[in-house]
Structure 1
Amino acid sequence: MSLARRKLALVVITALLPALTACGMFGDSTADKDPAQAPEKTSLRVGGLKLTDSIPILLARDNGYFEDEGLKVDMKFGEKGSVNLANVMENKIDIGMSSYPPPINEQLDGARLKVVAEAVLTTPGLIQIVVPGDSPLRSVNDLAGKKVANSSKRGITELTLGVQLQMRGIDPASVQFVSMEIAKMPDALAKGEVDAAGIAEPYIQSAMLKGAIPLFDPFSGPTADFPWSGYVATEKFTQENPKTIAAFQRALSRAVNDVRRDRTKAEKIAVQYLGVDESIASLMTLPVYPTNVDKVRLQRVADMLQQAGEIDRPIDMSDLVISGGDTAS
């Protein structure tokens, strides 16, 4: 090809580049998508938690991943997972983040709920039972007869700590669990309102700055790598809006993959939205963020609830999982 023809070709490509990009030749775009796959409901009300659990959804919102799927997500922090679940059931929000015991209990009581996405699997140090630095408590065995703050009555930390106590021959009923928002636990501990607290990141760092020290990881041994939280909707909502749910899952998965590749993205979100000081963001323990719902993994929670006597009959977690959403990742 002559020099003149090469120059002409370059001019043509340059001129066509904006059109090619708009058509999605260099990646997916909203215009590219099959109109038949458009979400039924384009505006979603979501209740999150002011924990590391919410980092992917905040990142997906800020990076425009929901917009790419034709969704507008209005995300507000709930005080605790049980509050989010109540708001879902009362149709105040469409999707709510919660630990799994509350929706399991509601399902057994006749509610029809679905886990539309897993949020967090625990990692070592993500949730800790912490005590004041001058506490006489030295091991989990010392918690009998003490006040222990946990996020929700009959919640996930109470469940796993109870299992750990039973393994050591200690009656979980001997512990006085005090339900409160995790964000309030560092101050409650420092003021002596409780003897210990089951605190999750990013608030473990806040508690340690106030003099607290870790006593025990309730998500260790038989409760390691445990499903901690997920996104829950009513069955009715998922049946009426399957494309909306699929779009929500795709956008969330994109953000999860971003965090997996680059931890600093999570740290920036934590500083911006979770109130984490920039100087300690790199010290946070991050969880595993799954990209799919695994019914086998979630069955661990249901089985443990029954073994602990928290529910009086078995429940098949397939009933709480959207069909096709059973692949681990």
Structure 2
Amino acid sequence: MTIAGTHARMPLRRSRSGRNRFAAVIAAVALILVGCQNGSSSSDHGRQELTVAALPLTDSAALYLARDRGLFAKEGLDVRIRPVQQSIQALPALIKGQVSVIASANYVTYLQAYEKGTLDLRILAEGVRIAPHMMDVLVPKDSALRTPADLAGKKVAVAVLNNIQSLTLNAILDAKGAGRPVYRQILFPQMGPALERGQVDAVHAVEPFDSAIRGELGARVLLDGDSPPVQGLPASGYVTTRDFVQKHPKAAAGFRRAIEAASEIAAQDPGAVRAELPKYTKVTADQAKAIHLPTYPATADPAQLRRLVRLMRDQGLLEKDIDPAPLLAR
């Protein structure tokens, strides 16, 4: 999970309600993809150019596989990838048409935007589903926290407040009858330093930061993020707008086919993902061998996405039920 440039540290602050905070973020976030004038255009060699914003996570492996194995080119597409630190940072650019697609897009954020009418969402393809130890709650090796129940009232770092990490961790703790922690927003690259300095009691880290924090700090796993009842839950996807799908149906369909083909490669050959990771993250080839990978579904499943919607409803992150089936671009 590398992110180009210097990583600015996020301030620690208390969460507002998920819906209020989402509106505040959309109002405040500045456009960060400077220089991207259009998300889609024709290139000199006849292929359609698409700008895709992506987090450099294991979630994005299919995107890079599709690019590097010529799957996009086969579909007549020239895909340009723009790294971002949070998928929500690219939302204004997607709304304005300055990027065509957001990869590794946290479904929670985009379903909230759809419900609010901020974004006319379409899901081109699934990204990943949660798998064992692809994200863990980590604590210092000498921490007094020994069981999930010990997290009650403690400070836990998540990359985005009121999102997939807190959503799933709350569900796991609720199922165990344990109390919930207090969440602090800290970007993934800063979680290790924050844990080391004692700014938080635990971090909810995603690969490859999960492995990096364990390796560098000797942090131990307190809880596997793939615990019941969120095992196999869809975590992220490739999202766009209805406007893009309507104006560029061939490009949208070609992008989906390329990602689904790359996801099938990733699912059948984890070694292909491990070979790809050092190209767009800071992990070495040796480190990539030990990383816990997510599940890469070859096709989107509305039934699995409904599980996510139900969890969001249960925790007040959505006001009404959303049927994800009509949002899947076919």
User: Which residues of structure 2 form unaligned runs of 5+?
Assistant: 1-45
Query: Cα–Cα, structure 1 residues 297 and 192, in superposed 2: closer, same or farther, change >3 Å?
Result: same
Counterpart Cα distance in 2 of 1:205 and 1:48: 20
Counterpart Cα distance in 2 of 1:291 and 1:168: 32
Question: Deviations for 1:12-62, whole angstroms, at most 9, x for unmatched residues?
Answer: xxxxxxxxxxxxxxxxxxxxxxxxxxxx98110101111111111111111
Query: Cα–Cα, structure 1 residues 279 and 41, in superposed 2: closer, same or farther, change >3 Å?
Result: closer
| Equivalent of 2:177 in 163, 166, 169 | 169
> How far is the alpha carbon of 1:86 from its aligned partner?
3.5
Matched residue type, 1:163: A
> Is 2:246 the counterpart of 1:233?
no
8 Å CA contact 1:41, 1:241 repeated in 2:
no
SS in 2 for 1:284: coil
Matched residue type, 1:50: P
What's the TM-score once normalised by structure 1's chain length? 0.81
| Equivalent of 1:85 in 83, 91, 96 | 91
Query: Cα–Cα, structure 1 residues 42 and 309, in superposed 2: closer, same or farther, change >3 Å?
Result: same
8 Å CA contact 2:128, 2:236 repeated in 1:
yes
**Aligned positions of 1:97-176 closer than 5 A:** 97=103, 98-110=105-117, 111-172=119-180, 175-176=181-182
Matched residue type, 2:122: K
SS in 1 for 2:285: coil
> How far is the alpha carbon of 1:138 from its aligned partner?
0.9
SS in 2 for 1:154: coil
8 Å CA contact 2:129, 2:232 repeated in 1:
yes
Identity of aligned residues (%): 32
Q: 1:296 corresponds to which residue?
A: 303
Query: Cα–Cα, structure 1 residues 115 and 193, in superposed 2: closer, same or farther, change >3 Å?
Result: same
**Aligned positions of 1:185-196 closer than 5 A:** 185-196=191-202
Matched residue type, 1:108: E
Counterpart Cα distance in 1 of 2:47 and 2:306: 30
Q: 1:37 corresponds to which residue?
A: none
8 Å CA contact 2:165, 2:204 repeated in 1:
yes
Q: 2:5 corresponds to which residue?
A: none
**Aligned positions of 1:309-320 closer than 5 A:** 309-320=316-327
Matched residue type, 2:97: N
Matched residue type, 1:273: Y
Matched residue type, 1:58: Y
Q: More displaced, 227-236 or 84-93?
A: 84-93
Matched residue type, 2:170: G
Q: 2:25 corresponds to which residue?
A: none
SS in 1 for 2:289: helix
Counterpart Cα distance in 2 of 1:220 and 1:263: 22
Counterpart Cα distance in 2 of 1:261 and 1:216: 27
Counterpart Cα distance in 2 of 1:41 and 1:153: 39
8 Å CA contact 1:41, 1:244 repeated in 2:
no
Matched residue type, 1:76: R
| Equivalent of 2:294 in 266, 287, 291 | 287
Find the structure with the greater CA-based Rg.
Answer: 1
Matched residue type, 1:242: P
8 Å CA contact 2:127, 2:236 repeated in 1:
yes
> How far is the alpha carbon of 1:102 from its aligned partner?
0.6
Q: 1:12 corresponds to which residue?
A: none
How many residues end up aligned between the 2 structures? 282
Counterpart Cα distance in 2 of 1:195 and 1:86: 33
Counterpart Cα distance in 2 of 1:141 and 1:295: 33
SS in 1 for 2:299: coil
Q: Which has the higher helix share?
A: 1
| Equivalent of 1:211 in 207, 215, 218 | 218
Counterpart Cα distance in 1 of 2:273 and 2:63: 11
> How far is the alpha carbon of 1:165 from its aligned partner?
2.2
| Equivalent of 2:75 in 46, 69, 79 | 69
8 Å CA contact 1:81, 1:152 repeated in 2:
no
Q: 2:31 corresponds to which residue?
A: none
> How far is the alpha carbon of 1:180 from its aligned partner?
2.4
8 Å CA contact 2:53, 2:99 repeated in 1:
yes
> How far is the alpha carbon of 1:71 from its aligned partner?
0.5
Question: Deviations for 1:246-279, whole angstroms, at most 9, x for unmatched residues?
Answer: 1111222222232233322211211221111222
Q: RMSD of aligned C-alpha atoms? A: 1.7
SS in 2 for 1:44: strand
Q: More displaced, 184-193 or 63-72?
A: 184-193
8 Å CA contact 1:43, 1:71 repeated in 2:
yes
8 Å CA contact 1:118, 1:231 repeated in 2:
yes
